[in-house]
Amino acid sequence: MDDSKARAVTSLAILGGTPAFPEKIHVGRPNVGNRERLIERINKIVDTRYLSNSGPFEREIEQRICEMLDVRYCAAMCNATVALEIAVRALNLSGEILVPSFTFVATVHALQWQQITPVFCDIDPRTHNLDPRKIERLITPRTSGILGVHLWGRPCPIDELQAVADANGLALLFDAAHAFGCKYGGRKIGGFGRAEVLSFHATKFINAGEGGAVVTNDADLAARLQLMKNFGFSGYDNVISIGINGKMNELSAAMGLTNLESVEEFARSNRENFETYQDHLDGIRGLSLLRYDERNSPNYQYVVVEIDARELGLTRDQLVSVLHAENILARRYFYPGVHRMEPYRSCYPEAGLHLPETEALAGRILVLPTGAAVSSTDIQKICAIIRFAVEHSRKILEALPGS
Ligand code: T4K
């Protein structure tokens, strides 16, 4: 793509050219650590025939997470969605919980699944996180908590949210699915609020294939979490509470432990990728790369750009079409906002009226491929395609069917 001047716009795959990448380039390609270490652990699992139910690796990963995040207790679970459900249940929350709509749908499903009404609060367009100035007016006598999401690993305004929670007697908890290893005010994410929920899904910074965890400094809560994730069993034949199957199996724990050993390497390669994007997208008017604050030790798992269609000459969705045709599977996370997905769209048809920033942002955001499996050369090629498409936006629009 260096020969952008000489190239004809019809060489773009969307206009009939050959895709720039023969294989699809994904946003969520998993980071995988040392293969030998993983196989060693898997061999151990097979040798001992201990596959699940408080196995040694599940226990070890809980301990390891506590050490790494400076928290007292960790309950490893099968995924973050179930972990969120168990957390709100163990905290005895009910009625209504304030939550952003600009998040992955699982954050909100976890509440609805527990028959708790999600009350959507708008975000601050600068941070993409809950806007604490908009929280208070949404509190009603039925409100029991606030569920903040550290979106893209950038921490919520935790102090402000905690102040609102304290003033109104609400539980504050966090969906920290994106924020493993990140900090707020010099402290690691994990120890804030009543509890924080981590995801170890394949696409996350640290993955266990599928996995999640609830971390907390509250000993009673931690005991309830351990009970609830294991059907309420307290020893053989002794069920002492409601529970579900939320356990992390040994294969997942083995994968998670192995990947935790590579946390620094993943952070480094994500950061290098981010910097390559930064260098090569620089100066494209109408496209701005979401910045991370180094003081918060970001994990750079998400490379997010915001599109101003008027300046760029292409809408976000037109750019997505250009990229997808080239086999670059950029994603529109978290379009169109949870309030516009079912069942929320039908249950709360008016919600959008109070979410102007969420609605606007959901139309502007694009997430680009990164992770250890995406090379610097790939990224340079992706950026060159974006630049080329933007330079030729008018011709692309003229040539596109229906224009
Ligand atoms: N809270 C927040 C804020 C979250 O973002 C999430 C999950 C959760 C809670 C719930 O956590 P978990 O219950 O999942 O632990 C993906 C992930 O499935 C989801 O975990 C994640 N957020 C969300 C942001 O992204 P999709 O629908 O985009 O998944 P999918 O299958 O399209 O995968 C994304 C890309 O990754 C694909 O283009 C292919 C690639 N990929 C995916 C997998 C699974 C691979 O290359 N290899 C793989 O193994 O939701």
183-241 pLDDT tens trace: 999 999 999 999 999 999 999 999 999 999 999 999 999 999 999 999 999 999 999 99
- Ligand 1: residue of 112, 201, 207 to mutate (most ligand atoms within 8 A of CB) is 201
What's the whole-number mean pLDDT along residues 147-160?
98
Q: Whose Cα sits closest to atom 38 in ligand 1? A: 26
Instruction: Locate the ligand 1 atom nearest the alpha carbon of residue 373 and give its number.
Output: 46
Is the Cβ atom of 135 under 6 angstroms away from ligand 1? no
Mean pLDDT of the chain: 96
Note the pLDDT of residue 8. Answer: 86
Is the Cβ atom of 107 under 6 angstroms away from ligand 1? yes
Note the pLDDT of residue 215. Answer: 98
Pairing of strands 195-199, 212-216: antiparallel
28 Cα to the center of ligand 1, angstroms? 7
* Cβ proximity of 172 and 159 under 8 Å: no
Q: Whose Cα sits closest to atom 11 in ligand 1? A: 80
Is the Cβ atom of 103 under 6 angstroms away from ligand 1? yes
Is the Cβ atom of 128 under 6 angstroms away from ligand 1? no
pTM for the structure as a whole: 0.96
Q: How confident is the model at residue 373 (pLDDT cuts 50, 70, 90)?
A: confident
Note the pLDDT of residue 5. Answer: 52
pLDDT at residue 402 above 70?
Answer: no
- Return contacts of 305-312, CB within 8 angstroms, 24+ apart: 305/281, 305/365, 305/366, 305/367, 305/368, 306/361, 306/364, 306/365, 306/366, 307/364, 307/365, 307/366, 308/364, 309/364, 310/286, 311/285, 311/286, 312/284, 312/285, 312/286, 312/287, 312/390, 312/393
274 Cα to the center of ligand 1, angstroms? 20
C-alpha to C-alpha distance for 215 and 128, rounded to whole angstroms: 23
What's the whole-number mean pLDDT along residues 328-342?
97
- Ligand 1: residue of 79, 203, 374 to mutate (most ligand atoms within 8 A of CB) is 203
Q: In the chain, what percentage of residues exceed pLDDT 70?
A: 98
Is the Cβ atom of 332 under 6 angstroms away from ligand 1? no
- Ligand 1: residue of 82, 104, 123, 130 to mutate (most ligand atoms within 8 A of CB) is 104
Q: Which two tokens stand for residue 35?
A: 């293969």
Is the Cβ atom of 373 under 6 angstroms away from ligand 1? no
Is the Cβ atom of 329 under 6 angstroms away from ligand 1? yes
